[in-house]
Amino acid sequence: MSSARAERLVNLVLCLLATRQFLSAERIRATVPGYADAPSDEAFFRMFERDKNELRELGIPLETGRRSSFDTADGYRIARQDYELGEIDLEADEAAAVALAARLWDTPQLAGAAHGALVKLRAAGVEVDETRGPVQPRVRAAEPAFAPLLAAVQAGRAVTFDHRRGGPTGEIVRRTVEPWGVVSWRGRWYLVGHDRDREDVRSFRLSRIAEPVTPIGPAGAVTVPPDIDLMGYIKHNFDPPPVIGAARVWVPQGRAYGLRRLGRVLGPRTHRGRAGDELEIDLRSVHLVARWLSGHGPDVVVLDPPELVEAVRLNWEAAAKAHEGPPGSAP
């Protein structure tokens, strides 16, 4: 459909929605922009018939009737109650998703299209609530890489960019990626796709991608796997590792409240004359839990398993060695 015809159809719908009376074809010809360009009456009626059929095929309820018994020609209108959507009730998660999408309209990349959509809604008589309610979930897309990556996903083109690994001081590595999608997780944006350098699926935080993002290859060359769950992939990267066992530790009374909140108190226990409690903590990684427990110093005693006891001991030895002064220095 040409843009001129699409605009004419929109104008016709707006005109027929705005009236309660049946409008004759001649009245429509004089009112709706686009019909005045018809070179003859015959050309206008052919154009008008095509437009009526198009509206009916689109499911728009076009009514035909006459204002009174004295009229000799049929008129047309669109009943607003038949055309407009009924009241829509959204579940809490659905309402949140709509609110997040509305906040995304504020980004420079989508603001123009959003403004045009709102103008058309107002022109059609639709009340647009711009207050957005007392709760405004925010999803910001301020990263410079957002727009070019989104365009590459839509075009199906591979991209190259520099990516900083592991944080602000991490190594910068050049990557070539077949982008599958850009998703938001916990307030941050991530690119998910096939990393050609690693020959595997990878995700990249957009805030760590440096400009420029350069598209390569022809459009449509990237195929997104039909069974890929982009959000599930990102979420899986942040899920804690599975529980592989349980660690038993002792903590003195009135200390290590963080461990008490996360662990399960098995009961009171005295250790070397000090009153305290024995706790059980889920063990997901020996090295991670060892680093966590080592930071509590004398406020924790690891009882089991033996490999965790040894890992904490080695951490304390390394910390003590790192704080030793050079030979001959004062203590």
CATH number at residue 291: 3.30.70
Q: What is the pLDDT of residue 216?
A: 94
25 in any annotated domain: yes
Q: What is the pLDDT of residue 133?
A: 41
Same domain, 255 and 295: yes
DSSP symbols for 247-289:
EEEEEETT--HHHHHHSEEEEEEEETTEEEEEEEEEES-HHHH
Q: What is the pLDDT of residue 110?
A: 53
CA distance 313 to 257: 22
Q: Which of 180, 208, 238 is the last residue of a domain?
A: 238
| Structure tokens, 101 | 């999408």
Same domain, 18 and 65: yes
Q: Which of 209, 238, 267 is the last residue of a domain?
A: 238
Helix, strand, or coil (residue 158): strand
What residues of the chain score a pLDDT lower than 70? 1-2, 83-142, 167-168, 239-240, 325-331
CA distance 158 to 171: 22
Structural domain total, the chain:
4
283 in any annotated domain: yes
Element (H, E) at 40: none
CA distance 279 to 302: 10
CA distance 162 to 92: 39
Torsion sign (Cα): 96, 100, 165, 221: positive
58 in any annotated domain: yes
Q: Which of 174, 208, 238 is the last residue of a domain?
A: 238
328 in any annotated domain: no
CA distance 174 to 182: 19
Q: What is the pLDDT of residue 245?
A: 85
DSSP symbols for 192-224:
EEEETTTTEEEEEEGGGEEEEEEEES-TT----
Helix, strand, or coil (residue 37): helix
| pLDDT digit string, tens, across residues 22-31 | 888 888 888 8
Which residue, 179, 115, 186, is CA-closest to 147?
A: 179
Is 0.75 surpassed by the pTM of this model? no
329 in any annotated domain: no
Q: What is the pLDDT of residue 138?
A: 47
Q: What is the pLDDT of residue 129?
A: 47
Domain limits for position 29: 3-83
CATH of the domain at 171: 2.30.30
